[in-house]
Amino acid sequence: MKRLWTPAWIARHVAMVVLVATFLGLGWWQVSRAAAGNAISWGYAVEWPIFAGFVVFVWWREVRHALRTVAPPSGDAVATTSAGHPDGTARPDGVSASGAIDAGQPRARIRRPVRFARVSAGPGEDDADLVAYNRYLSWLNANPGAKPGDYPG
């Protein structure tokens, strides 16, 4: 819970309260204008509370995300082994208790679909551009984390 009272989080809490109060105040102002005869203000009177609700939604999501993340180890934490847990087992995601990625754990790879180039029309009609493109595609398939600019050819 101390994570939510850092200077950055205090600024977020204050910003949320100020924005919600401002948006609800603007909504009330539009209601008073609409009651005075400005028909278009009815739409704005509905819109401002929706904005306030969105601010609360984003704030709540960020709070939940901050509470779900791994807390930094404190001075009175239990000593951990090199595998990351006190009992010597590693976490399934390969992250140790200190937050470092274990070198011995394989990282999960993202499977990307393989795209095949169009095959030439007839036998023996090899297009040089098509051959180079197929070579490029096979290199990309063999190096899933690589960027197109990393291609050596």
**Residue 53 placed within a domain:** yes
In a domain, 16, yes or no: yes
* Domain stops at, among 68, 97, 122: 68
- Answer with the one of 14, 48, 68 that is the final residue of a domain: 68
Higher pLDDT, residue 103 or 35: 35
Question: 28 is written with which tokens?
Answer: 């009330």
Domain extent, residue 55, equals 2-68
The DSSP-derived string for 25-87 is: HHHHHHHHHHHTT-TTHHHHHHHHHHHHHHHHHHHHHHHHHHHHSPPPP-TTSPP--TTSSTT
- pTM for the full predicted model: 0.47
Residue where one domain finishes, among candidates 68, 101, 126? 68
Spatial distance between the Cα atoms of 69 and 30, rounded to a whole number of angstroms: 40
Q: Structural domain tally of the chain?
A: 2
Residue 60 belongs to a domain: yes
Decide if 153 is inside a domain. no
Residue 22 within any structural domain of the chain: yes
In a domain, 88, yes or no: no
Q: Which of 23-27, 89-93, 142-146 has the lowest mean pLDDT?
A: 89-93
Query: Which pairs from 89-95 meet CB under 8 Å and 24+ separation?
Result: 95/70
Assess whether pLDDT exceeds 90 at residue 26: yes
Question: Does the residue 8 lie in any domain?
Answer: yes
Residue 30 lies in a domain: yes
Q: In the predicted model, is pLDDT for residue 96 greater than 60?
A: no
State the pLDDT confidence band at 48, using cuts at 50, 70 and 90. Answer: very high
